[in-house]
Structure 1
Amino acid sequence: MSIPSISRFPIPSIADLPQDIADRILAVQEKSGFVPNVFLVLAHRPDEFRAFFAYHDALMDKPGGLTKAEREMIVVATSAANQCQYCVIAHGAILRIRAKNPLIADQIATNYRKADITPKQRAMLDFAMKVSVEAYKVESADYEQLKAHGFSRDDMWDIAAISAFFAMSNRLANATDMRPNDEFYVMGRG
């Protein structure tokens, strides 16, 4: 059996990358013990790599009303709806670690409506899914529902922005045939 490549596009050598991108990839490798394939695939286009990760970090690595685990829940649920294998597997691993729950990512990816989450998290994911799949149907009542669950206006923006950003990411991952690293499948399960 042949091992599939990680992308339909060329994967540059880390040594040939601009220094800032190489440094970021090596820092991730140092922290996690491997290089997530998304870094290698996107490094093919350095300007887009920088823009992608700048927006990713602005959404996913900031303080706010949403926990880091809740941000990952949004990614896993919407990526499952968009049939993005890479993001479901990679962000599922991150979710398991951040939630300290080996079951939650599989539950959310399969059917978040039946997952062991709070009613507030369910409302968050209902809205995230609507933004990801049917954004043209978003209306004031959706925001009122979030407000009733205690979400701030900034939280509402974050839910929408994470959903929208990962809808783009899902499409890019699918179009490039980006493959998840084997390491992601086992992270946070033990």
Structure 2
Amino acid sequence: MSDQVSRFGAVELEDLPEDLRGRIGAIAEKSGFVPNIFRALGRRPAELRAFLDYHDALMERTDGLSKAERELVVVATSAANHCTYCIVAHGAILRVRTKDGELADKVAANPWQVELDERGRAIVDLALAVAQDSERFGQADLDRARTAGLTEDEIWDIGAITALFAMSNRLAHFTALAPNPEFYLMGRTPRGA
């Protein structure tokens, strides 16, 4: 297996500008490693800042969708787009947030058929509609989401998260971004094991 992070290279934490070093350093301190997406995008600091700002605006909200539901959107979107990096990385985060060692793998393997409660199914179906058939997306998709009880803000968040991660999925494909080995075990084994 190659140790290459990206076909365009990567930077180390200490090589980032000070503001990004602090932001990414906080993530690394919490997780125990620097996720490769930040090392790859760090080659272009302005783009990394923009990515982090939009990511945090969507994923760090505390109203509406839970943090686990936000990760569910990411894993479903990434599965639809066959993005190994995002499936592995966000599958790990979904396992941690849900404390469910199987859900992320089931969503990643087949988001169209995974058994979910009504709300979860509506979230995944809306993400898949935006990720796969955005040119056909319309009122019927919104009506199904509303019928399942999703609010307008939650529907917006699902669409925006799906759009951001569709872009992220394509960047990961373009750069041949390798998942960090640490992601594979997160949420599967006790921390520190």
Per the normalisation by structure 1, the TM-score is: 0.95
Aligned to 2:110, the other structure's residue is in SS state helix
1:104·1:116 contact (CA, 8 Å) conserved in 2?
Answer: no
Q: 1:125 maps to what in 2?
A: 124
State how many pairs are aligned.
Answer: 189
Partners of 1:110 and 1:183 lie apart in 2 by 20
**CA RMSD after TM alignment:** 1.2
The answer to whether the aligner puts 1:101 opposite 2:96 as a matched pair is: no
Q: 2:87 maps to what in 1?
A: 88
2:145·2:155 contact (CA, 8 Å) conserved in 1?
Answer: yes
Identity of aligned residues (%): 50
Q: 1:51 maps to what in 2?
A: 50
CA drift at 1:15: 2.5
Unaligned 5+ residue runs, structure 2? none
Q: 2:144 maps to what in 1?
A: 145
CA drift at 1:77: 1.0
The answer to whether the aligner puts 1:5 opposite 2:26 as a matched pair is: no
Structure with the higher fraction of residues in helix conformation:
1
Partners of 2:88 and 2:47 lie apart in 1 by 23
Q: 1:177 maps to what in 2?
A: 176
CA drift at 1:123: 1.4
Partners of 2:11 and 2:109 lie apart in 1 by 34
* Aligned residue type for 2:104: A
Partners of 1:39 and 1:8 lie apart in 2 by 14
Partners of 1:149 and 1:13 lie apart in 2 by 45
Partners of 1:153 and 1:107 lie apart in 2 by 27
1:112·1:122 contact (CA, 8 Å) conserved in 2?
Answer: no
Per the normalisation by structure 2, the TM-score is: 0.94
2:5·2:40 contact (CA, 8 Å) conserved in 1?
Answer: yes
Q: 1:23 maps to what in 2?
A: 22
2:80·2:111 contact (CA, 8 Å) conserved in 1?
Answer: no
1:97·1:187 contact (CA, 8 Å) conserved in 2?
Answer: yes
* Aligned residue type for 1:168: M
Unaligned 5+ residue runs, structure 1? none
